[in-house]
Amino acid sequence: MPTISIRVDDETKRAMDARRDINWSEVVRRGIKERLKMEEIRRIDRRRLLDSIEVTQKLRRKSPGFDSTKEIRRWREARR
């Protein structure tokens, strides 16, 4: 298994040393694995979002002679 190194501040190291019953390597391994899972979910969600945008763009159509700005103004004026 490859080895990695991390740096922590002195206060954190003292607190870790006080808890010798905890396998800090395992804590870090689990944290890294959890973060990797989260990043994979984000990647998938981003891909799904981009796919949805693409589908929406394909479905969007122009209506000849229709000006949404004018229509909105017309409805706002009608409310008054």
3-state secondary structure 10-67: HHHHHHHHHCCCCCHHHHHHHHHHHHHHHHHHHHHHHHHHHHHHHHHHHHCCCCCCCC
Q: What is the per-residue pLDDT across 25-36, written as a single tens digit (0 to 9) for each? A: 999 999 999 999
Q: What is the per-residue pLDDT across 48-71, written as a single tens digit (0 to 9) for each? A: 999 999 888 888 777 788 888 999
